[in-house]
Amino acid sequence: DVKVTQSSRYLVKRTGEKVFLECVQDMDHENMFWYRQDPGLGLRLIYFSYDVKMKEKGDIPEGYSVSREKKERFSLILESASTNQTSMYLCASSSISYNEQFFGPGTRLTVL
């Protein structure tokens, strides 16, 4: 069974903390994505990666960075968490030959 896993389902952090969200896929997919989802705004792309050590900014990269050191793992980093980064974060992966994205279960992050 194909799988995308995320390190936490729920996370509570303080303003100013550095936050790491981890995503791992077992499908040998080239492409990996980080989205945030907020009511009324839908899924917004933060960053994506189409290969190891490669990254591209999405629509809302400000305040975030990413790391892809291994093909199966894509990390989202909040350098200094702020309350407006409270959201549901979804990771996804896809192959280069077919664009269906497989999503992880999501991490609901609350920044106090």
Q: Which one-letter amino acid corresponds to residue 42?
A: G
Closer CB to other proteins, residue 81 or residue 90?
90
Question: Given the rule CB under 8 A, which of 22-30, 62-70, 73-81, 99-107 is the region that contacts other proteins?
Answer: 99-107
Question: Given the rule CB under 8 A, which of 17-25, 40-48, 62-70, 77-85 is the region that contacts other proteins?
Answer: 40-48
Does the footprint of other proteins cover residue 101 (CB under 8 A)? yes
Q: Write phi, then psi, for 3 (nearest 5 degrees).
A: -150, 140
From the CB of 12, what's the least distance to other proteins, in Å? Answer: 17
Among 19, 90, 109, 111, binds other proteins (CB under 8 A): 90
Among 28, 62, 69, 100, binds other proteins (CB under 8 A): 100
Which residue shows structure tokens 């936050």? 19
CB half-sphere exposure, 107, CA atoms < 13 A:
25
Residue pair 4/25 in contact by the 8 Å Cβ criterion = yes
- The residue among 56, 68, 62 whose CA lies nearest residue 22 is 68
